[in-house]
Amino acid sequence: MNKEIMLVRELAKQVAEMAAMPEQKEKIRLWKKLNNLEAERPMFMIDQVCWGEMNYEDELTLRCEDPVLRGIEWQLRETIYRQKHMADDRPVRPYITLGKAYSVTGVNMPSIVEDGGRPGASTHVYVDQLPDDEALETKLIMPVVTYDAEATRKTKELHENILDGILGVKMNGYDGYFHYWDRISWWRGVEAIMYDMADNPDFIHRLLKKVIAMHMHMLDQFEELGLMTPGMDTVHCTGAYNDVMEGYGDDPFAEANCHTAKNSWTYSAPQLFSMVSPEMHDEFDVQYIIPWFERFGLGYYGCCEPNDIKVDVLRKIPNLRKISMSPWVNEDLGAEKIGKDYVYSRKPNPANVAWDIFPEDVVRNEFQKTIDAT
Protein backbone atom coordinates (compact mmCIF):
# COMPACT_ATOMS: atom_id res chain seq x y z
CA MET A 1 0.00 0.00 0.00
CA ASN A 2 1.11 3.57 -0.68
CA LYS A 3 3.07 4.80 2.37
CA GLU A 4 1.35 8.17 2.29
CA ILE A 5 -2.10 6.56 2.38
CA MET A 6 -0.96 4.43 5.31
CA LEU A 7 0.21 7.58 7.10
CA VAL A 8 -3.13 9.31 6.53
CA ARG A 9 -5.06 6.29 7.77
CA GLU A 10 -2.99 6.11 10.94
CA LEU A 11 -3.75 9.76 11.64
CA ALA A 12 -7.42 9.12 10.84
CA LYS A 13 -7.48 6.33 13.42
CA GLN A 14 -6.25 8.77 16.06
CA VAL A 15 -8.99 11.23 15.17
CA ALA A 16 -11.61 8.47 15.14
CA GLU A 17 -10.57 7.46 18.65
CA MET A 18 -10.88 11.06 19.81
CA ALA A 19 -14.29 11.44 18.15
CA ALA A 20 -15.56 8.34 19.97
CA MET A 21 -14.80 9.76 23.41
CA PRO A 22 -17.91 10.51 25.51
CA GLU A 23 -16.70 14.07 26.05
CA GLN A 24 -17.42 14.91 22.40
CA LYS A 25 -21.13 14.22 22.75
CA GLU A 26 -21.15 16.19 25.98
CA LYS A 27 -19.63 19.20 24.23
CA ILE A 28 -22.29 19.02 21.53
CA ARG A 29 -25.00 18.77 24.18
CA LEU A 30 -23.66 21.85 25.94
CA TRP A 31 -23.45 23.84 22.70
CA LYS A 32 -27.05 22.92 22.00
CA LYS A 33 -28.08 24.13 25.43
CA LEU A 34 -26.28 27.42 24.87
CA ASN A 35 -27.72 27.95 21.41
CA ASN A 36 -31.18 26.99 22.67
CA LEU A 37 -30.76 29.83 25.22
CA GLU A 38 -30.66 27.30 28.06
CA ALA A 39 -26.94 27.54 28.85
CA GLU A 40 -25.49 25.38 31.61
CA ARG A 41 -22.05 27.01 31.50
CA PRO A 42 -19.99 29.36 29.30
CA MET A 43 -18.61 27.68 26.19
CA PHE A 44 -15.04 28.32 25.08
CA MET A 45 -13.50 27.98 21.63
CA ILE A 46 -10.10 28.90 20.20
CA ASP A 47 -10.49 29.78 16.53
CA GLN A 48 -8.86 31.70 13.68
CA VAL A 49 -5.48 30.39 14.83
CA CYS A 50 -2.19 31.69 13.40
CA TRP A 51 -1.22 28.20 12.30
CA GLY A 52 2.06 29.34 10.75
CA GLU A 53 3.33 30.01 14.28
CA MET A 54 1.95 26.86 15.91
CA ASN A 55 4.20 24.10 14.57
CA TYR A 56 5.51 22.88 17.91
CA GLU A 57 8.02 20.01 17.56
CA ASP A 58 6.96 19.41 13.93
CA GLU A 59 3.49 18.25 14.97
CA LEU A 60 1.97 20.17 12.05
CA THR A 61 4.67 19.35 9.50
CA LEU A 62 3.08 17.58 6.53
CA ARG A 63 4.79 14.41 5.31
CA CYS A 64 2.65 13.66 2.27
CA GLU A 65 3.59 14.91 -1.20
CA ASP A 66 0.35 14.05 -3.00
CA PRO A 67 -1.86 17.20 -2.92
CA VAL A 68 -5.06 15.32 -2.08
CA LEU A 69 -3.39 13.42 0.73
CA ARG A 70 -1.77 16.62 2.01
CA GLY A 71 -5.21 18.20 2.29
CA ILE A 72 -6.49 15.30 4.37
CA GLU A 73 -3.31 15.17 6.42
CA TRP A 74 -3.62 18.84 7.33
CA GLN A 75 -7.19 18.45 8.60
CA LEU A 76 -6.18 15.46 10.69
CA ARG A 77 -3.02 17.00 12.13
CA GLU A 78 -4.89 20.20 12.97
CA THR A 79 -7.56 18.22 14.81
CA ILE A 80 -5.00 16.18 16.75
CA TYR A 81 -3.05 19.33 17.62
CA ARG A 82 -6.17 21.11 18.86
CA GLN A 83 -7.17 18.17 21.02
CA LYS A 84 -3.70 17.88 22.50
CA HIS A 85 -2.81 21.51 23.12
CA MET A 86 -5.97 23.63 23.18
CA ALA A 87 -8.54 21.56 25.07
CA ASP A 88 -11.41 23.91 24.29
CA ASP A 89 -15.07 23.07 23.67
CA ARG A 90 -14.71 22.25 19.97
CA PRO A 91 -15.98 18.67 19.51
CA VAL A 92 -13.90 16.24 17.48
CA ARG A 93 -16.16 14.87 14.75
CA PRO A 94 -16.02 11.45 13.04
CA TYR A 95 -15.44 12.91 9.57
CA ILE A 96 -13.41 15.31 7.49
CA THR A 97 -15.12 18.17 5.66
CA LEU A 98 -14.76 19.13 2.02
CA GLY A 99 -16.41 21.71 -0.19
CA LYS A 100 -18.90 20.84 -2.90
CA ALA A 101 -17.81 21.81 -6.41
CA TYR A 102 -19.64 24.98 -7.35
CA SER A 103 -18.88 28.42 -8.71
CA VAL A 104 -20.61 31.80 -8.50
CA THR A 105 -20.38 34.60 -11.04
CA GLY A 106 -21.40 38.18 -10.43
CA VAL A 107 -20.60 38.72 -6.75
CA ASN A 108 -16.87 38.12 -7.07
CA MET A 109 -15.85 41.23 -9.00
CA PRO A 110 -12.10 41.54 -8.33
CA SER A 111 -10.72 44.40 -6.31
CA ILE A 112 -8.36 46.94 -7.83
CA VAL A 113 -5.68 48.13 -5.44
CA GLU A 114 -2.93 50.70 -5.59
CA ASP A 115 0.19 51.02 -3.47
CA GLY A 116 -0.51 52.88 -0.26
CA GLY A 117 2.59 55.01 -0.72
CA ARG A 118 4.14 54.41 2.68
CA PRO A 119 7.86 53.58 2.43
CA GLY A 120 8.88 50.64 4.56
CA ALA A 121 5.34 49.32 4.95
CA SER A 122 3.23 47.00 2.82
CA THR A 123 0.05 49.04 2.32
CA HIS A 124 -2.58 49.41 -0.35
CA VAL A 125 -5.71 51.39 -1.10
CA TYR A 126 -8.79 50.21 -2.98
CA VAL A 127 -9.78 51.91 -6.21
CA ASP A 128 -13.44 52.97 -6.27
CA GLN A 129 -15.01 50.90 -9.05
CA LEU A 130 -18.60 51.93 -8.23
CA PRO A 131 -18.52 55.73 -8.16
CA ASP A 132 -21.85 56.35 -9.90
CA ASP A 133 -25.13 54.85 -11.12
CA GLU A 134 -23.68 53.86 -14.47
CA ALA A 135 -21.13 51.66 -12.70
CA LEU A 136 -23.88 50.08 -10.59
CA GLU A 137 -25.77 49.20 -13.74
CA THR A 138 -22.86 47.83 -15.76
CA LYS A 139 -20.63 46.19 -13.14
CA LEU A 140 -23.10 44.67 -10.67
CA ILE A 141 -24.75 41.75 -12.43
CA MET A 142 -27.04 39.07 -11.10
CA PRO A 143 -25.01 36.04 -10.00
CA VAL A 144 -25.23 32.62 -11.58
CA VAL A 145 -24.48 29.57 -9.42
CA THR A 146 -23.18 26.46 -11.20
CA TYR A 147 -22.99 23.16 -9.36
CA ASP A 148 -20.87 20.25 -10.58
CA ALA A 149 -22.56 17.30 -8.92
CA GLU A 150 -20.37 14.76 -10.70
CA ALA A 151 -17.14 16.40 -9.57
CA THR A 152 -18.53 16.54 -6.04
CA ARG A 153 -19.41 12.85 -6.15
CA LYS A 154 -15.95 11.90 -7.43
CA THR A 155 -14.22 13.99 -4.79
CA LYS A 156 -16.26 12.41 -2.02
CA GLU A 157 -15.67 8.91 -3.38
CA LEU A 158 -11.92 9.49 -3.70
CA HIS A 159 -11.60 10.65 -0.11
CA GLU A 160 -13.81 7.85 1.18
CA ASN A 161 -11.59 5.29 -0.54
CA ILE A 162 -8.50 6.85 1.00
CA LEU A 163 -9.98 6.87 4.51
CA ASP A 164 -11.34 3.33 4.11
CA GLY A 165 -14.26 3.80 6.51
CA ILE A 166 -12.10 5.03 9.38
CA LEU A 167 -13.69 8.47 9.13
CA GLY A 168 -16.60 9.76 7.10
CA VAL A 169 -16.51 12.48 4.46
CA LYS A 170 -18.94 15.37 4.78
CA MET A 171 -19.48 17.60 1.74
CA ASN A 172 -20.38 21.16 2.66
CA GLY A 173 -21.83 23.86 0.42
CA TYR A 174 -22.67 27.49 1.19
CA ASP A 175 -22.33 28.29 4.88
CA GLY A 176 -24.55 31.39 5.09
CA TYR A 177 -21.59 33.79 5.20
CA PHE A 178 -23.07 37.21 4.38
CA HIS A 179 -20.39 39.89 4.66
CA TYR A 180 -21.70 42.00 1.83
CA TRP A 181 -20.21 45.17 3.31
CA ASP A 182 -16.78 43.57 3.03
CA ARG A 183 -17.39 43.09 -0.69
CA ILE A 184 -18.51 46.68 -1.10
CA SER A 185 -15.38 47.83 0.75
CA TRP A 186 -13.18 45.82 -1.60
CA TRP A 187 -14.98 47.30 -4.59
CA ARG A 188 -14.98 50.91 -3.40
CA GLY A 189 -12.68 51.43 -0.42
CA VAL A 190 -13.97 52.47 3.00
CA GLU A 191 -13.28 56.18 2.56
CA ALA A 192 -15.60 56.56 -0.44
CA ILE A 193 -18.33 54.68 1.42
CA MET A 194 -18.09 56.89 4.49
CA TYR A 195 -18.24 60.09 2.47
CA ASP A 196 -21.26 58.86 0.50
CA MET A 197 -23.15 57.75 3.60
CA ALA A 198 -22.95 61.35 4.80
CA ASP A 199 -23.03 63.32 1.53
CA ASN A 200 -24.80 61.05 -0.95
CA PRO A 201 -26.99 58.63 1.04
CA ASP A 202 -29.47 58.08 -1.80
CA PHE A 203 -26.68 56.62 -3.91
CA ILE A 204 -25.66 54.27 -1.09
CA HIS A 205 -29.26 53.09 -0.85
CA ARG A 206 -29.36 52.36 -4.58
CA LEU A 207 -26.09 50.46 -4.26
CA LEU A 208 -27.40 48.44 -1.32
CA LYS A 209 -30.65 47.54 -3.04
CA LYS A 210 -28.68 46.15 -5.97
CA VAL A 211 -26.20 44.24 -3.83
CA ILE A 212 -28.90 42.72 -1.61
CA ALA A 213 -30.93 41.69 -4.68
CA MET A 214 -27.82 39.96 -6.04
CA HIS A 215 -27.32 38.00 -2.84
CA MET A 216 -30.99 37.03 -2.57
CA HIS A 217 -30.86 35.73 -6.14
CA MET A 218 -27.73 33.77 -5.25
CA LEU A 219 -29.44 32.31 -2.18
CA ASP A 220 -32.40 31.18 -4.30
CA GLN A 221 -30.02 29.18 -6.46
CA PHE A 222 -28.14 27.69 -3.51
CA GLU A 223 -31.43 26.34 -2.20
CA GLU A 224 -32.59 25.07 -5.59
CA LEU A 225 -29.29 23.24 -6.13
CA GLY A 226 -29.12 21.75 -2.63
CA LEU A 227 -26.00 23.71 -1.78
CA MET A 228 -26.90 24.95 1.69
CA THR A 229 -24.97 23.49 4.63
CA PRO A 230 -27.24 22.13 7.36
CA GLY A 231 -25.61 20.54 10.36
CA MET A 232 -22.56 22.80 10.20
CA ASP A 233 -20.21 22.46 13.14
CA THR A 234 -19.29 26.10 13.69
CA VAL A 235 -20.61 29.57 13.03
CA HIS A 236 -17.98 32.29 13.37
CA CYS A 237 -15.71 30.96 16.10
CA THR A 238 -18.51 29.23 18.03
CA GLY A 239 -20.32 25.92 18.03
CA ALA A 240 -23.36 25.82 15.74
CA TYR A 241 -25.14 22.84 17.32
CA ASN A 242 -28.77 23.42 18.27
CA ASP A 243 -32.22 21.82 18.49
CA VAL A 244 -33.96 24.50 16.43
CA MET A 245 -32.98 23.28 12.96
CA GLU A 246 -32.79 19.90 11.25
CA GLY A 247 -29.41 18.30 10.60
CA TYR A 248 -28.16 18.31 14.19
CA GLY A 249 -29.31 14.88 15.32
CA ASP A 250 -27.14 11.95 16.36
CA ASP A 251 -26.37 11.05 12.74
CA PRO A 252 -24.23 13.87 11.25
CA PHE A 253 -24.96 12.64 7.72
CA ALA A 254 -28.77 12.60 8.00
CA GLU A 255 -29.33 15.77 5.97
CA ALA A 256 -31.00 14.58 2.79
CA ASN A 257 -34.13 16.72 3.02
CA CYS A 258 -32.93 19.79 4.89
CA HIS A 259 -30.71 21.70 2.45
CA THR A 260 -32.63 24.92 2.90
CA ALA A 261 -31.79 28.28 4.42
CA LYS A 262 -34.31 27.57 7.19
CA ASN A 263 -32.06 24.71 8.30
CA SER A 264 -28.89 26.80 8.13
CA TRP A 265 -27.12 29.52 10.05
CA THR A 266 -26.29 32.87 8.54
CA TYR A 267 -23.62 35.25 9.72
CA SER A 268 -23.17 38.95 8.96
CA ALA A 269 -20.88 41.69 10.24
CA PRO A 270 -20.33 45.22 8.87
CA GLN A 271 -16.98 45.75 10.57
CA LEU A 272 -16.45 49.15 8.94
CA PHE A 273 -19.53 50.36 10.84
CA SER A 274 -17.48 50.62 14.04
CA MET A 275 -17.47 54.37 13.47
CA VAL A 276 -21.11 55.02 12.57
CA SER A 277 -24.00 55.87 14.87
CA PRO A 278 -26.72 53.38 15.82
CA GLU A 279 -29.13 55.35 13.62
CA MET A 280 -26.89 55.07 10.55
CA HIS A 281 -26.17 51.45 11.39
CA ASP A 282 -29.88 50.78 11.27
CA GLU A 283 -30.42 52.74 8.06
CA PHE A 284 -27.51 51.36 6.05
CA ASP A 285 -27.27 47.79 7.32
CA VAL A 286 -29.99 46.41 9.59
CA GLN A 287 -32.89 47.44 7.37
CA TYR A 288 -31.27 45.68 4.41
CA ILE A 289 -30.45 42.40 6.13
CA ILE A 290 -33.90 41.83 7.64
CA PRO A 291 -35.21 40.00 4.51
CA TRP A 292 -32.04 37.89 4.41
CA PHE A 293 -32.20 36.79 8.04
CA GLU A 294 -35.91 36.04 7.67
CA ARG A 295 -35.02 33.19 5.34
CA PHE A 296 -32.58 31.48 7.72
CA GLY A 297 -33.12 29.34 10.79
CA LEU A 298 -30.68 31.16 13.06
CA GLY A 299 -28.26 34.04 12.72
CA TYR A 300 -25.03 35.37 14.19
CA TYR A 301 -24.21 39.07 13.99
CA GLY A 302 -20.96 40.92 14.46
CA CYS A 303 -17.21 40.50 14.47
CA CYS A 304 -14.65 43.06 15.60
CA GLU A 305 -16.97 46.09 15.60
CA PRO A 306 -18.28 47.17 19.04
CA ASN A 307 -21.99 46.33 19.30
CA ASP A 308 -22.68 47.19 22.94
CA ILE A 309 -24.41 50.48 22.06
CA LYS A 310 -26.29 48.96 19.12
CA VAL A 311 -28.11 45.98 20.61
CA ASP A 312 -31.42 47.83 20.58
CA VAL A 313 -31.06 48.27 16.81
CA LEU A 314 -29.94 44.67 16.29
CA ARG A 315 -33.10 43.40 17.98
CA LYS A 316 -34.90 44.22 14.74
CA ILE A 317 -33.06 41.36 12.99
CA PRO A 318 -35.27 38.25 12.74
CA ASN A 319 -33.96 34.84 13.84
CA LEU A 320 -30.92 36.46 15.44
CA ARG A 321 -29.41 34.16 18.07
CA LYS A 322 -25.83 35.33 18.73
CA ILE A 323 -24.37 38.83 19.03
CA SER A 324 -20.63 39.45 18.98
CA MET A 325 -19.08 41.44 21.80
CA SER A 326 -15.60 42.49 20.68
CA PRO A 327 -12.67 43.60 22.87
CA TRP A 328 -13.78 47.21 22.45
CA VAL A 329 -17.19 47.02 24.11
CA ASN A 330 -18.38 47.98 27.56
CA GLU A 331 -19.09 44.47 28.78
CA ASP A 332 -21.54 45.48 31.47
CA LEU A 333 -23.58 47.53 29.01
CA GLY A 334 -23.48 44.81 26.34
CA ALA A 335 -24.58 42.13 28.81
CA GLU A 336 -27.38 44.32 30.15
CA LYS A 337 -28.69 45.04 26.65
CA ILE A 338 -28.50 41.41 25.51
CA GLY A 339 -29.93 39.93 28.69
CA LYS A 340 -31.04 36.33 28.20
CA ASP A 341 -32.50 36.98 24.75
CA TYR A 342 -29.34 36.19 22.76
CA VAL A 343 -26.04 34.38 23.13
CA TYR A 344 -23.39 36.82 24.34
CA SER A 345 -20.45 35.90 22.07
CA ARG A 346 -17.42 37.46 23.65
CA LYS A 347 -14.12 37.90 21.80
CA PRO A 348 -11.33 38.56 24.32
CA ASN A 349 -8.49 40.95 23.56
CA PRO A 350 -6.00 39.06 21.35
CA ALA A 351 -3.15 41.37 22.41
CA ASN A 352 -3.11 39.58 25.75
CA VAL A 353 -1.56 36.48 24.19
CA ALA A 354 1.11 38.40 22.25
CA TRP A 355 3.40 38.96 25.23
CA ASP A 356 6.82 37.34 25.54
CA ILE A 357 5.63 35.72 28.75
CA PHE A 358 2.01 34.58 28.91
CA PRO A 359 0.16 36.96 31.30
CA GLU A 360 -2.10 34.38 32.92
CA ASP A 361 -3.52 36.77 35.51
CA VAL A 362 -4.46 39.34 32.85
CA VAL A 363 -6.24 36.75 30.73
CA ARG A 364 -7.93 35.14 33.71
CA ASN A 365 -9.17 38.52 34.95
CA GLU A 366 -10.61 39.37 31.54
CA PHE A 367 -12.48 36.06 31.38
CA GLN A 368 -13.78 36.58 34.90
CA LYS A 369 -15.02 40.04 33.98
CA THR A 370 -17.05 38.51 31.15
CA ILE A 371 -18.52 35.87 33.44
CA ASP A 372 -19.40 38.48 36.06
CA ALA A 373 -21.04 40.74 33.47
CA THR A 374 -23.22 38.02 32.01
pLDDT in tens, 47-97: 988 898 899 889 999 999 999 999 999 999 999 999 999 989 999 999 999
Lowest mean pLDDT among 26-35, 104-113, 337-346: 104-113
More confident residue, 250 or 179: 179
Give residue limits of the domains in the chain: 1-98, 174-374
- Determine the average pLDDT of the residues in 306-325: 97
pLDDT at 246: 81
Which 3-state string (H, E, C) describes the chain? CCHHHHHHHHHHHHHHHHHCCHHHHHHHHHHHHHHCCCCCCCCCCCCCCCHHHCCHHHCCCCCCCCHHHHHHHHHHHHHHHHHHHCCCCCCCCCEEEEECCEEEECCCCCCCEEECCCCCCCCEEECCCCCCHHHHHHHCCCCEEEECHHHHHHHHHHHHHHHCCCCEEEEECECCECCHHHHHHHHHCHHHHHHHHHHCHHHHHHHHHHHHHHHHHHHHHHHHCCCECCCCCECCCCECCCCCCCCCCCCCCCCCCCCCHHHCEEEECCHHHHHCCHHHHHHHHHHHHHHHHHCCCEEEECCCCCCCCCHHHHCCCCCEEEEEECCCCCHHHHHHHHCCCCEEEECCCHHHHCCCCCCHHHHHHHHHHHHHHC
pLDDT at 353: 85
Lowest mean pLDDT among 9-13, 161-165, 211-215, 257-261: 257-261
How far is residue 344's CA from residue 322's CA, in Å, rounded to a whole number? Answer: 6
User: Over 80: is that where the pLDDT of 107 sits?
Assistant: no
User: Over 90: is that where the pLDDT of 117 sits?
Assistant: no
Give me the percent of the chain exceeding a pLDDT of 90: 82
pLDDT at 255: 60
Contact predicate 62/77, CB 8 Å: yes
- Determine the average pLDDT of the residues in 133-148: 95
Across the chain, mean pLDDT equals 93
User: Over 80: is that where the pLDDT of 118 sits?
Assistant: no
pTM for this one?
0.92
pLDDT at 247: 76
User: Over 60: is that where the pLDDT of 360 sits?
Assistant: yes
More confident residue, 112 or 21: 21
